[in-house]
A and B are shown apart, each in its own frame.
Chain A
Amino acid sequence: MNKITNNKAWFLVLPVFFIVAISAIIPLMTVVNYSVQDIFDPQTRFFVGTEWFEQVLGDSRLHDALIRQIIYTLSVLFIEIPLGIAVALTLPRKGWGVSASMVLLALPLLIPWNVVGTIWQIFGRADIGLGGYVINLLGIDYNYSQNPMDAWVTVLVMDVWHWTSLIVLLCYAGLRSIPDAYYQAAKIDGASRWAVFRFIQLPKMQSVLVIGVLLRFMDSFMIYTEPFVLTGGGPGNATTFLSQFLTRMAVGQFDLGPAAAFSLVYFLIILLVCWVFYTVVMNAGKREEQ
């Protein structure tokens, strides 16, 4: 076969090159550039090698933020996934209830992050917020702006409120795709409700659940807006997660070198976890194709 060459084709590829360069490669290389230099002003800078990386990796505040972040993300997954499955199982399968519940569930997903933060910031206040007022009325001393635990829980509840719907919708779609004949077959066998869930519904939801976990992991690992709006990462450092920490370092203190080094580490962590997930998803997909 003769290969057809036409150099005009390069012009068609150029826009993509241009966009990717502007949006990804140049910023990333700038960060790499910052991470190995100490910059005082545009004329004065020193090459420092891996010094920033060493400093950042040894920073105990970063370790704290990372641990906080991991606990937070795991909590998000452990609450939202089972809760999402449970809600999806109880949703109606036909009738007007389907559209009604779909609309109700989709509502939180439509609200922008910072608005969610504001809603809960007001809702949780003991003086003017309904939620905070009621909780205090119940005799629980709740104040997210002073008690670290309260702030942490509030951010978690916020995320659960905002994103459980996503898991519900994904699971519901998975459940709906199970042919009725499976349930009939189980009924004929005399299988229990638990057996139907364990051996029919759960395996059939597997692929959507992997996607759900992936999305929720990435998103919660990069959480920024909610704690920023609620308490700005406080009280103390209770709700300072990785991106909050990074922003404070880069924009607050203008420590561009360490911030750049940390950005790269952060990037690599997410890349690594996503790669692991991706491999799992692809393997699961392959198993199904066979």
Chain B
Amino acid sequence: MTLTLENISKTVGGESHIDDVSMTLEPGSFNVLLGRTLAGKTTLMRIMAGLEPPSSGRILVDNVDVTGMAVQKRNVAMVYQQFINYPSMNVYDNIASPLKLQGVAKAEIDKRVRSTAELMHIEHLLDRLPQELSGGQQQRTAMARAMVKDCKLLLLDEPLVNLDYKLREELREEIPNLLAERDTIVVYATTEPMEALLLGGKCAVMHEGRVTQFGPTTQVYHNPAFVETGLIFSDPPINLVDAEVRDGAIFMKSGHQVPLAGHLSGLSNGKYTLGIRANHLSVDPTGDNTIAMQGQVELAEITGSETFVHVHFNDVSWVIQEEGVHNPRLGEATSFYVDPTRLFAFDANGKLVAAPPVEISNGKAA
């Protein structure tokens, strides 16, 4: 099935939650909705599911208007941030419940429940009650409940956010494989850029109720169409600085000068915003053409494998991502280096005008 949203808007009490969203989800596609909290991801999913009617616009399934159709008739399934299972039913009955309500024959239910449970690696837990399971197992049960139905649209609303780190990684790796051979449209909402990249597929970036960009995930990552997209689709958010092009060079507000070369050579005179991701800044000079900058260390976050150094210079705060553990002294002046070939340029309206060419491999994670 193909799901098409046509100019969907949702206003609640005069406040716009979804603002003119149009998109087409291909059969069997994996779509990531990426946006901050309150960007409208959940509302958009609820509208897709039919749990809420849009204020205006149409929803088409294979070119048939289903805008007003009740959710029960739409063959959708949803997995939530919270682990939603029927508390008094064991895992088997939980997974079987949607099939029972559909009136599927008993033998068929048994077969499908067991195969889905096996797929989710919970076949040994079928007799347990949800309270007797760990968070990861509870969410696996909830996902099995959603998948057993063979629905046409599967909505996953930040399903991994309440799991601890290890379980999250484990399930995140499994999810694309679990859904690969299905003809189901999957929509997966997340706030984390990393998760979007790991899941692949297509990505729709949401900001304040709008879908600002929709395309293959890596392409969106490498070409964020707007400054906002860049901020949302980078963790830590992309570093920005105001700049001006004149006299054949780029002058950053901080006084640094970037040659008008490479992918930036096409920029005409005027005001721009330059952006660079934290992993393309370094405290060591990495190449010949790097630009040295000075800043004050404000904060250093050590995650274990990486250190995020927050530096401040000329009213601008940037974050540098360094591999390994570093312990710069706070307040200390430090030098860091910008690789000009990794700079994004956005025009005065915040639209992308120049993006660095996509590297095939540069040693550092993209």
Residues of A within 8 A of B (CB): 179, 181-182, 184-185, 187-191, 195, 199-200, 202-204, 287-288, 290
Among residues of B, the one whose C-beta sits closest to the C-beta of A202 is B88
Give the contacting residue for B51; candidates A179, A182, A188, A191; CB below 8 A: A188
Residues of B within 8 A of A (CB): 46, 49, 51, 71-72, 76-78, 80-82, 84, 86-89, 97-98, 101-102, 129, 131-132
Give the contacting residue for A188; candidates B77, B81, B86, B132; CB below 8 A: B77
Query: Which residues on the A side are within 8 Å of B129 (C-beta)?
Result: 287
Q: Does B131 lie within 8 Å of A288, measured CB to CB?
A: yes
Give the contacting residue for B82; candidates A179, A195, A200; CB below 8 A: A179
Query: Which residues on the B side are within 8 Å of A179 (C-beta)?
Result: 80, 82, 84
Among residues of B, the one whose C-beta sits closest to the C-beta of A199 is B86
Among residues of B, the one whose C-beta sits closest to the C-beta of A182 is B84
Q: Does A187 lie within 8 Å of B72, measured CB to CB?
A: yes
Among residues of A, the one whose C-beta sits closest to the C-beta of B50 is A188
Q: Does A203 lie within 8 Å of B87, measured CB to CB?
A: yes
Query: Which residues on the B side are within 8 Å of A188 (C-beta)?
Result: 49, 51, 71-72, 76-78
Q: Does B97 lie within 8 Å of A189, measured CB to CB?
A: yes
Q: How far is the CB of B73 from chain A (nearest CB, A)?
A: 8
Q: How far is the CB of B77 from chain A (nearest CB, A)?
A: 6
Among residues of A, the one whose C-beta sits closest to the C-beta of B133 is A290
Q: Give how many A-B residue pairs fall within 8 Å (CB-CB).
A: 54
Q: Does A185 lie within 8 Å of B101, measured CB to CB?
A: no
Q: Does B87 lie within 8 Å of A185, measured CB to CB?
A: no
Sample of 17 further A-B pairs with CB below 8 A, known A187-B72, A188-B78: A179-B80, A179-B84, A181-B80, A181-B82, A184-B51, A184-B80, A188-B71, A189-B72, A189-B98, A190-B101, A195-B101, A199-B86, A199-B87, A202-B88, A203-B88, A287-B131, A290-B131
Query: Which residues on the A side are within 8 Å of B51 (C-beta)?
Result: 184, 187-188
Alpha-carbon distance between A191 and B80 when the two chains are bound, in angstroms: 17
Closest 6 CB pairs of A and B: A190-B72, A203-B88, A203-B87, A181-B80, A199-B86, A185-B84
Among residues of A, the one whose C-beta sits closest to the C-beta of B98 is A189
Q: Does B80 lie within 8 Å of A189, measured CB to CB?
A: no
Among residues of B, the one whose C-beta sits closest to the C-beta of A184 is B51
Query: Which residues on the A side are within 8 Å of B71 (C-beta)?
Result: 187-188
Q: Does B78 lie within 8 Å of A185, measured CB to CB?
A: yes
Alpha-carbon distance between A287 and B88 when the two chains are bound, in angstroms: 12
Among residues of B, the one whose C-beta sits closest to the C-beta of A190 is B72
Query: Which residues on the B side are within 8 Å of A182 (C-beta)?
Result: 84
Query: Which residues on the B side are within 8 Å of A190 (C-beta)?
Result: 72, 98, 101-102
Q: Does A181 lie within 8 Å of B98, measured CB to CB?
A: no
Q: How far is the CB of A207 from chain B (nearest CB, A)?
A: 11
Query: Which residues on the B side are within 8 Å of A290 (C-beta)?
Result: 131-132
Q: How far is the CB of A201 from chain B (nearest CB, A)?
A: 10
Alpha-carbon distance between A287 and B129 when the two chains are bound, in angstroms: 9
Q: Does B78 lie within 8 Å of A184, measured CB to CB?
A: yes
> Would you list 13 pairs from A and B whose C-beta atoms are within 8 A, ordered by A residue?
A181-B80, A181-B84, A184-B51, A184-B78, A188-B49, A188-B72, A188-B78, A189-B72, A189-B98, A189-B101, A199-B97, A204-B87, A290-B132
Alpha-carbon distance between A290 and B125 when the two chains are bound, in angstroms: 14
From A181, A188, A203, A287, name the one whose CB has the most chain B CB atoms within 10 angstroms.
A188
Query: Which residues on the A side are within 8 Å of B101 (C-beta)?
Result: 189-191, 195
Alpha-carbon distance between A189 and B96 when the two chains are bound, in angstroms: 11
Alpha-carbon distance between A188 and B153 when the two chains are bound, in angstroms: 12
Q: How far is the CB of B143 from chain A (nearest CB, A)?
A: 12
Q: How far is the CB of A230 from chain B (nearest CB, A)?
A: 41
Q: How far is the CB of A289 from chain B (nearest CB, A)?
A: 8
Q: How far is the CB of A197 from chain B (nearest CB, A)?
A: 12
Q: Does A200 lie within 8 Å of B87, measured CB to CB?
A: yes
Alpha-carbon distance between A241 and B78 when the two chains are bound, in angstroms: 55
Q: Does A185 lie within 8 Å of B80, measured CB to CB?
A: yes
Alpha-carbon distance between A182 and B97 when the two chains are bound, in angstroms: 14
Alpha-carbon distance between A180 and B115 when the two chains are bound, in angstroms: 29
Query: Which residues on the A side are within 8 Å of B97 (C-beta)?
Result: 189, 191, 199
Alpha-carbon distance between A188 and B77 when the two chains are bound, in angstroms: 7
Q: How far is the CB of A290 from chain B (nearest CB, A)?
A: 5
Query: Which residues on the A side are within 8 Å of B131 (C-beta)?
Result: 287-288, 290
Query: Which residues on the A side are within 8 Å of B78 (C-beta)?
Result: 184-185, 188
Query: Which residues on the A side are within 8 Å of B72 (C-beta)?
Result: 187-190
Q: Does B80 lie within 8 Å of A203, measured CB to CB?
A: no
Among residues of A, the one whose C-beta sits closest to the C-beta of B77 is A188
Query: Which residues on the B side are within 8 Å of A202 (C-beta)?
Result: 88
Q: Does A203 lie within 8 Å of B49, measured CB to CB?
A: no
Alpha-carbon distance between A182 and B101 when the two chains are bound, in angstroms: 16
